[in-house]
Amino acid sequence: MPASAPRVAIAIVAWKGADLTIDCLRSIAAQIDELPAWHVYVVDNASPDDSADRVEQAIAREQWSRWATFIRSPVNGGFASGNNIAIRAAMKSNPPDYFLLLNPDTIVRPAALATLLEFMEERKDVGIAGGRSEHLDATPQHCCFRFPNAINELSLYLSLGLFDRLFRRYLTRIAILEEPSSVDWVSGAFMMIRRAVIDDIGLMDEGYFLYFEETDFTLRARRAGWTCWHVPQSRIVHLVGQSSGVTSADESTRRRPAYWFESRRRYFLLNHGRLYAMAADAAALVGLALGELRRIIERKTIRRPPHFIADFIKHGAILNGRRSLKPRVTTP
């Protein structure tokens, strides 16, 4: 690759899970010689175990330090904060042309990095792009979506096939795509951002601890005139929920953390105002209530985290409004 090749900074935000982070770095190492203008920034978000030491030692042992920098955050400020630490570090000297957000619970497939960059270089109008996330057996995952709205909140919790078919174009999930396509937003587990987008709108909002931050960021970019695309030819393995545990396979047996509800409330309040946030909550609660009624009538089991409805009400916009809502923190 010529010396003038686009520079890319990869941000990996880790909290515990040292083995996952090391495996992710190892998958990058297999491609990095072909991408000399790339550099990785691993941010440990104040892991309470020995993960930070283990990852730092692995970087030294495997001689990855020529392309990877390890940063210890003194506090766990969440996903947006951790990525912003990496981005700010990369911006200090000779800022890169692109930033790639990459979850530590991912394994980068061969040529995935170069393929995503090539797409961005060919489409200068695209501000954000994400590749396909897969399971280990290459089964594709849903990783591109429509922005949340009152209709898809109702549909999400109602889970009624007829309703979904009638309002297909409003639903959050988008069907598995085989060709590059314009979408509302892509998963922050594998998201490339053009530096010009950050120049325009700033960094990710650190008021989010976890979840909805990439949705918020992409909506802000859309409003500034940037498009977002899904590029399925660029592929990673995503071991879903291994980093946070919130969206893992056993999520229905674990109580949803308060920060998920708070992030959802923040997203609707900041981007659509209190009345719409309350309407979205009401739509979701109607869907939840009808879903419970359907479960009773049909004697079916609905996989839902414990106390979900009570927690939804407790942390939602209807009862809380803008209470305890932190201002945006997006300064580069």
Give the three-class secondary structure for 116: helix
pLDDT tens digits, residue range 206-257? Answer: 999 999 999 999 999 999 999 999 999 999 999 986 665 555 555 567 999 9
Tell the residue number behind the tokens 């674990």, with chain if given. Answer: 254
Q: What is the pLDDT of residue 296?
A: 83
Cα angle 314, 315, 319; round to 5: 65
Only one residue has tokens 């990783």, namely 143
CA angle 318, 302, 260 (to 5 degrees): 40
User: DSSP character for 148?
Assistant: P
Percent of the chain past pLDDT 90, that is, above it, reads 79
> Span 181-193, mean pLDDT?
97
Residue in 189, 161, 153 with CA at minimum distance from that of residue 316: 153
pLDDT digit string (tens) for 69-88?
Answer: 999 999 999 999 999 999 99
CA separation for the pair 181, 297 (Å, rounded): 40
Provide the pLDDT confidence category of residue 2 given band limits of 50, 70 and 90.
Answer: very low
> Residue 162: CB partners within 8 Å, gap ≥ 6?
none
Q: What would the pLDDT profile of 119-169 be if each residue is shown by its tens digit? A: 999 999 999 999 999 999 999 999 999 999 999 898 888 877 666 677 777
pLDDT at 32: 93
> Which of 87-101, 218-232, 286-300 is least confident?
286-300
Q: Is 326 helix (H, G, I), strand (E, B) or coil?
A: coil
Tens digits of per-residue pLDDT, 230-242?
Answer: 999 999 999 986 6
Do 200 and 224 contact (CB within 8 A), yes or no? yes
Please compute, for residue 198, the number of CA atoms within 13 A of its CA located in the half-sphere on the CB side.
23
Say what the pLDDT of residue 157 is.
Answer: 84
Assign 101 a pLDDT band (cuts: 50, 70, 90): very high
Q: How far is CA 204 from the centre of its chain?
A: 11
- End-to-end Cα, the chain, rounded Å: 29
Residue 241's pLDDT is: 66
**How far is it, in rounded angstroms, from Cα 116 to Cα 230?**
10
Higher pLDDT among residues 259 and 169, named by residue: 259
* DSSP H or E run through 145: strand 144-145
Neighbours of 137 (CB within 10 A): 6
